[in-house]
């Protein structure tokens, strides 16, 4: 029994084109697989860039708020537990353990 090979697979141009395509998709240094990995890294880095830019914008807002007297006083009272001379501060700490 003889297997009949279609004539397109006997064509030298088709064979060269097919081998070239396989080589470029998988084996070349600029292959599709390498580009896919690099695009995934680019997406990851762009997401990190957005995250850090949001953090920078929040910090800028806090700095502009702290440049005012009321913002500076609010920060000193809430974060540093500072008080005026005639005030008393009571810090209430909640116990998270249920006994």
Residue 85, in any domain of the structure: no
Looking at residue 63, its pLDDT comes to: 92
Q: Is the pLDDT of residue 98 over 80?
A: no
pLDDT band at 88 (very low <50, low <70, confident <90, very high): confident
Is 64 in contact with 70 (CB distance < 8 Å)?
A: no
Task: Quote the mean pLDDT of the chain.
Answer: 88
Residue 25, both tokens = 């998709």
Locate tokens 């064979």: which residue? 15
Question: What local confidence, expressed as pLDDT, does residue 56 receive?
Answer: 98
Q: What's the total number of domains in the chain?
A: 1
Share of the chain above pLDDT 90, in %: 37
Q: Answer whether residue 73 is part of any domain.
A: yes
Residues 26, 32 contacting (CB under 8 angstroms): yes
Q: Report whether 73 contacts 82 (CB < 8 A).
A: no
- pLDDT value at position 26? 85
Task: Look at residue 13 and tell me if it is in a domain.
Answer: yes
Is 61 within the bounds of a domain?
Answer: yes
Which domain, by its residues, includes 35?
7-79
């Amino acid at each position: 029994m003889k297997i009949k090979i279609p004539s397109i697979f006997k064509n030298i141009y088709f064979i060269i084109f097919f081998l070239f395509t396989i080589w470029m998709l998988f084996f070349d240094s600029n292959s599709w697989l390498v580009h896919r990995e690099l695009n995934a890294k680019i997406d990851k880095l762009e997401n990190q860039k957005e995250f850090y830019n949001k953090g920078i914008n929040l910090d800028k807002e806090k700095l502009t708020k702290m440049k005012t007297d009321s913002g500076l006083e609010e920060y000193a009272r809430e974060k540093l537990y500072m008080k005026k001379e005639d005030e008393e501060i009571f810090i209430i700490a909640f116990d998270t353990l249920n006994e």
